[in-house]
A and B are shown apart, each in its own frame.
Chain A
């Protein structure tokens, strides 16, 4: 295990160094992470303001500010893009180089994921502060909510990464996976509560979202961190659901990875 951790640390260092080579790109990614929630906040807050009770879907303007501020942070820290990446690695033959090494390629993907987040923090944190200063979010989170919310955020990030990686294995059969990546990303936006708080969705869609993993990646940690999850029991139940999803996805990954490797054709390398 120590060997794996040392290798992981080396991959992580190389990943951060690679990110630092492209400073302009880091800034652009940071802006991209800001724009989406900012636009949606503007839309929903004006909807709330236009209603007589100054709320929409049970959120006031200040609560929308808090929701999208937290979602901005959750969206960044739980970001994963491997659903797009695997097809590229296979098509360019880079996967073969990784498979020749005595370490599963997923470790490098995790290290790269963390590298992106660490390297971009320097740029996104000031933007978060500016956003908060402009929109004045209304928080009512207690300390226990912040503590459990942090755990939920980590679980959400693991779940998003692992599920994205599992989905990416389709590339062993389909090779080109960009559309699959878009579908995965779109589902995460819609059913993960990133377009709109899940409470704003029609009831059937709300329940569908509750049964799928996307809610547990983004919406649940955000709701917990902004103080909308009322009880400890509710929060712990949510964490248990996240853990169950993570374990299920890891188990599925182990099986699918073995099958995918048997199917691998290494045509490009």
Chain B
């Protein structure tokens, strides 16, 4: 049964803008200019009970805006959505009691008090019966391993400790639907792994429906069988993670360790040379030619070790978005992007083939384009 149903959801923001500089600042005193920014553009999808869905896209793609609409924080400009049978932005108390949204950069904890005090407030606000509260709290303390930090003032906690307490407070009322907006942001790798493990565990134990956004692809690959890709507010892909990888990555990455330096060998003729350092060479080759190229490399070169891998999913997606936005004028980019996406098996989203689809004045501009964190190294690592 679908727990989340989204139909043609749109959100447009009206944002002030001006040129840089003092003169423009002075002019804006009496004359403001605004621009309509379409953050979410006719997005539709459904999520079944107990599913964990990864919501991916570059910065400013519209992921968080969509989640904010589904959690009742924002009213949409148009479109419909139902979560647990309720229209989220009507903000009915019964709905708010059954869902939770964890925003990695926002705190629900009382900064000046020990976390335990915030939990007590949360229990009262959500009307959690005492026995249920105690049982859930014990379970969460055990799963998150936060027994030692509950008496510490929140402002004295480390980022990882605080994040675990944030997760705890978000789940005290055992929400049936959970929106996780970058739940592992800023925490170290070990902590990320623990949080991932916890989310999977919570999903298994309580059958919760979860939508997860993260800049760490490891979160998505570890937790989500299905992903939704969004960019410029438009839904670009909705399907299995494996399917996305196969569609977007019709190539393999070959890593070679050479016994000694080889001068003059034309690696670029074999495929796309990604890196070459000392005696280590990394090239990307079309999937269909991987075997033949490997044979040739083995016969041509003094190979010590050879490794053939699928490219990491973050590189794959980053490449798709990066190339789509990277260079050239807007119109050319749009046409090229549409072509590329079709070429690699992406369903061409409505209108994407038209240059104005990407250069539309109503679409979001992305000053800090691209995936951050793990995605920044695209192309340099296999």
Contacts and interface: CB of A to CB of B under 8 A. Distances in A.
Nearest to B97: A102
B125 A101 contact: yes
A147 interface: no
Contact of A3 (B73, B117, B127, B153): B127
B289 interface: no
A36 interface: no
Interface stretch (A64-72, A192-200, A224-232, A258-266): A258-266
Interface in B107-125: 107-108, 110, 112-113, 117-118, 120-121, 123-125
A96 B106 contact: yes
B13 A265 contact: yes
B106 A269 contact: yes
Contacts of A93: 103, 105-106
A99 interface: yes
B150 to A, nearest CB: 15
B100 A100 contact: yes
B113 A18 contact: yes
Nearest to A2: B127
A46 interface: no
A21 B112 contact: yes
B3 interface: no
B71 interface: yes
Interface residues of B, number: 32
B101 interface: yes
Nearest to B74: A266
Interface stretch (A7-15, A53-61, A244-252): A7-15
B71 A100 contact: yes
Interface string A100-126: 111100000000000000000000000
Interface string B3-45: 0000000000100000000000000000000000000000000
Interface residues of A, number: 27
Given A14-B113, A102-B125, A261 B75 contact: yes
B191 to A, nearest CB: 22
Nearest to A103: B125
B74 A18 contact: no
A203 interface: no
Contacts of A94: 106-107
Interface string A3-40: 10011011101100110011000000000000000000
B276 interface: no
Nearest to B123: A10
A97 B121 contact: no
Given A7-B125, A102-B125, A14 B74 contact: no
A9 B96 contact: no
Of A11, A13, A100, which is in contact with the most chain B CB atoms at under 10 Å from its CB?
Answer: A100
A97 B75 contact: no
Given A10-B125, A14-B118, A266-B68, A100 B96 contact: yes
Interface in A48-93: 93
A101 B97 CA distance: 7
B93 interface: yes
B345 to A, nearest CB: 36
A96 B107 CA distance: 10
B121 A269 contact: no
A18 B91 CA distance: 29
B286 interface: no
A99 B127 contact: no
Of B91, B121, B123, B127, which is in contact with the most chain A CB atoms at under 10 Å from its CB?
Answer: B121
Given A9-B124, A99-B73, A102-B126, A18 B112 contact: yes
Contacts of B124: 6-7, 9-11
A89 to B, nearest CB: 12
Given A7-B124, A7-B125, A266-B73, A96 B103 contact: yes
Of A6, A18, A22, A96, which is in contact with the most chain B CB atoms at under 10 Å from its CB?
Answer: A96
Contacts of B74: 264-266
B120 A262 contact: no
A26 to B, nearest CB: 13
B29 to A, nearest CB: 15
Given A9-B124, A10-B124, A17-B113, A100 B73 contact: yes
A265 B75 CA distance: 9
Nearest to B169: A97
B189 to A, nearest CB: 26
A97 B108 contact: yes
Contacts of B13: 265
Contacts of B126: 101-102
B32 to A, nearest CB: 13
B4 to A, nearest CB: 16
A244 to B, nearest CB: 30
B72 interface: yes
Contact of B120 (A10, A18, A101, A102): A10
Contacts of A103: 93, 125
A21 B113 contact: yes
Nearest 8 pairs of A and B residues by beta carbon: A10-B124, A102-B96, A102-B93, A269-B106, A7-B125, A3-B127, A10-B121, A21-B112
28 contacts: A6-B124, A11-B121, A11-B125, A13-B120, A14-B110, A14-B118, A14-B121, A17-B112, A18-B110, A18-B113, A93-B103, A94-B106, A96-B68, A97-B107, A97-B108, A100-B73, A100-B100, A102-B93, A102-B94, A102-B97, A102-B125, A103-B93, A261-B91, A264-B75, A265-B13, A266-B68, A266-B73, A269-B103
Interface of B: 13, 68, 71-75, 91, 93-94, 96-97, 100-101, 103, 105-108, 110, 112-113, 117-118, 120-121, 123-127, 153
Interface of A: 3, 6-7, 9-11, 13-14, 17-18, 21-22, 93-94, 96-97, 99-103, 261-262, 264-266, 269
